[in-house]
Chains A and B, each alone.
Chain A
Amino acid sequence: MAMTAAALDAAHDGLRAAGIDFVSGLPDGWQRPLHERVELDPEIRYVPVCNEGVGFSICAGAWLGGKKPALIMENSGIRVASEYIARISLGTGVPVTLLCSYRGDVGETEHWGIPHGIVAEPLLQALRIKYLIVRHVEDLAKSIVRAKRIAEAQLHPAAVLVSGDCVWED
């Protein structure tokens, strides 16, 4: 199962409207189509990685060079990236927009997604990352724009967690 076609368009529109011009990430089942879309977008430099911590460091370095970066990943990746989010952003104040699949949210069908849902929000709170949970497609694009806006204002990451109608057509 992947994000819906409408959610895919909304996420891509949101990234463009937010001025995101640099994306790193590790594809997951839900947001795989977004990685495919972004990779083909000539306005966005796409850098695939094999773990989200490396992706976060790359995004932070790109911001220092003037890019507006986003990291696209499953919420399990927040755990992996947390080491570098703490070192780089809590330590020096670097903004990166995080766009995460919210596996383990209410409606989850996969047992392995449950721990991701248990850990994600407390971990974001521990890292002082403000976040929006988006369960309706019509909220997705503007939520990405708003997350990027506060990330730049506070010089610290902000996150959008994607779930609900963006992925399930039940």
Chain B
Amino acid sequence: MALDRYEWLGRLAGRIPDDALVMSTYIGAVSFEWAHHTEEHHRSAHLGQMGDVIGLALGLALALPHRKVVCLDGDGSVLMELGQLVAMGEQQPGNLVVFVVDNGVYESIGWSSQGRRPTATAGRVDLAAIAAGCGVPYTVDVTAEDELDAEMELAFSRDVCSFINVRTRPGHSHVRPRRTDGIEDKYRFVRYVERLEGIWITGVPPQDIALMKGREH
């Protein structure tokens, strides 16, 4: 029995540690629903697109190894670039947890009387098995709600590189689309990380600001 995406994303939003960072997809229902559940909290980077979400999350996790990084991706996106799972399995950062919304269809492109266009996971492909084959230390294919609760509990209570594939029913909720573009999303996230970590990432460097203040006097 597959899960309802909107409902379980809401439960995930309620369980995610306050000091975690999230790398999510940029467009489509997963992003819109996640933004809705989290009230667009700036800890979530809605910057990933087809084939690069796990790669972005992996880079972020390696850059900030003390920080829990949660990745939200879709089955179509993971399938587009399976090489990301190779890198994830090679690096195995203990602070990275990947959740895949696996509904077995390309939902965001729309549908007709013939139904939705299927992804390969609607057939024989098992993403959790592929991730395990790539060396990801913990992988699981979740199909039941109580199972998902236990997996979320486990994921946030330990430091093990994890790939949690969640079988989800196709279907849209009716939350409104997000209004921001990738540029705004990037700045929001980067400024949040700068404050959280006490680091400088982009813009005028702090030492130059200090210099300019010195010139004023």
B59:A59 contact, CB within 8 angstroms: yes
Question: A94 to nearest B CB, angstroms?
Answer: 7
A155:B202 contact, CB within 8 angstroms: yes
B152 contacts chain A at the CB level, 8 A cutoff: no
A108 contacts chain B at the CB level, 8 A cutoff: no
- B197 surroundings in chain A (CB, below 8 A): 66
- Interface residue total, chain A, C-beta cutoff 8 A: 33
A88:B87 contact, CB within 8 angstroms: no
B168 contacts chain A at the CB level, 8 A cutoff: no
A17 contacts chain B at the CB level, 8 A cutoff: no
Tell me, in angstroms, the Cα distance from A58 to B52 when the chains sit together.
8
Which label, helix, strand, loop or mixed, suits the secondary structure of the B interface?
helix
Question: A83 to nearest B CB, angstroms?
Answer: 7
Which label, helix, strand, loop or mixed, suits the secondary structure of the A interface?
helix
B206 contacts chain A at the CB level, 8 A cutoff: no
Contact of B62 among A54, A62, A94 (CB under 8 A): A62
Question: B24 to nearest A CB, angstroms?
Answer: 12
- A157 surroundings in chain B (CB, below 8 A): none
B87:A62 contact, CB within 8 angstroms: no
A67:B202 contact, CB within 8 angstroms: no
A119 contacts chain B at the CB level, 8 A cutoff: no
Q: B103-111, B143-151, B184-192, B209-217: which one contacts chain A? A: B184-192
Tell me, in angstroms, the Cα distance from A56 to B50 when the chains sit together.
14
- B200 surroundings in chain A (CB, below 8 A): 66
B202:A58 contact, CB within 8 angstroms: no
Tell me, in angstroms, the Cα distance from A43 to B7 when the chains sit together.
44
- B56 surroundings in chain A (CB, below 8 A): 57-58, 60-61, 64, 88
B186:A94 contact, CB within 8 angstroms: yes
Asked whether A61 and B49 contact (CB < 8 A) given A45-B62, A92-B182, the answer is: no
* 9 tightest A-B CB contacts, nearest first: A61-B59, A57-B55, A65-B63, A92-B182, A61-B56, A62-B59, A58-B59, A57-B52, A61-B60
Interface positions of B (Cβ within 8 A of A)? 23, 26, 45, 47, 49-52, 54-64, 67, 81, 83-84, 86-87, 90-91, 182-183, 185-186, 189-190, 193-194, 197, 199-202
* 17 pairs, A vs B, C-beta closer than 8 Å: A47-B87, A54-B81, A54-B84, A54-B87, A56-B55, A58-B58, A61-B23, A61-B59, A61-B62, A64-B59, A64-B60, A65-B61, A65-B63, A66-B63, A92-B182, A152-B202, A155-B202
